[in-house]
């Protein structure tokens, strides 16, 4: 009789709800932040970065594009450890927490944001709706 215990990640059953395998509730506070809120939070953060970059360079310039990305990254790295998430996250009722508990620290926001900035890791999700950038950083985006 074969052993029913999974030995690899691919053998795990999908979660019944995002965050189930992480011990998070299906809904309400501390449940995984859903896609709609995440997208709106991202748009808020990107919009703020665009507006700030406009103070330093014209919209259609290459400098403006790089400034926007740099400001976006800086906002993530500064605000995640200080207020628990970016401005967009907080406005949408979300916060970033480490899976292990405690304070998110300084390295997690840096790793998470650098992976987020190259976009592709954020597009790869598991059944807990955690992007690759969150998995590598050991974080999860939850409802506040």
Taking every pair of Cα atoms in the chain, the longest distance, rounded to a whole number of angstroms, is: 68
pLDDT in the model for residue 14: 76
* 52-83: pLDDT as tens digits: 999 999 998 999 999 999 999 999 999 999 99
User: Per the structure block, which two tokens stand in for 65?
Assistant: 């594009």
Checking if the pLDDT of 10 tops 90, the result is no
The predicted-structure confidence for 129-142, as pLDDT tens digits, reads as follows: 899 899 999 999 99
pLDDT value, residue 3: 54
Q: Which range, 36-40, 117-121, 123-127, is most confident?
A: 36-40
Share of the chain above pLDDT 70, in %: 92
3-state secondary structure of 133: helix
117-135 average pLDDT score? 87
- Entry field: residues in the chain: 144
Which pLDDT tens digit goes with each residue over 12-59? 777 889 999 899 999 999 999 999 999 999 999 999 999 999 999 999
CB neighbours of residue 100 within 10 Å? 7
Cα 72 from chain centroid?
Answer: 13
Global pTM reads 0.86
């Amino acid at each position: 009789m074969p052993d029913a215990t999974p030995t690899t990640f691919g053998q795990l059953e999908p979660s019944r709800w995002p965050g189930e395998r992480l011990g998070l509730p299906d809904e309400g506070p501390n449940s995984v932040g859903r896609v709609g809120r995440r997208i709106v939070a991202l748009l808020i953060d990107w919009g703020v970065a665009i507006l700030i970059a406009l103070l330093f360079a014209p919209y259609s310039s290459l400098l403006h594009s790089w400034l926007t990305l740099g400001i976006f990254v800086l906002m993530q790295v500064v605000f995640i450890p200080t207020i628990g998430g970016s401005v967009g996250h907080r406005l949408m009722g979300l916060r970033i927490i480490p899976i292990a508990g405690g304070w998110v620290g300084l390295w997690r926001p840096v790793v998470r944001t650098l992976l987020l900035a190259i976009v592709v890791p954020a597009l790869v999700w598991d059944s807990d709706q955690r992007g690759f950038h969150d998995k590598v950083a050991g974080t999860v985006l939850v409802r506040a």
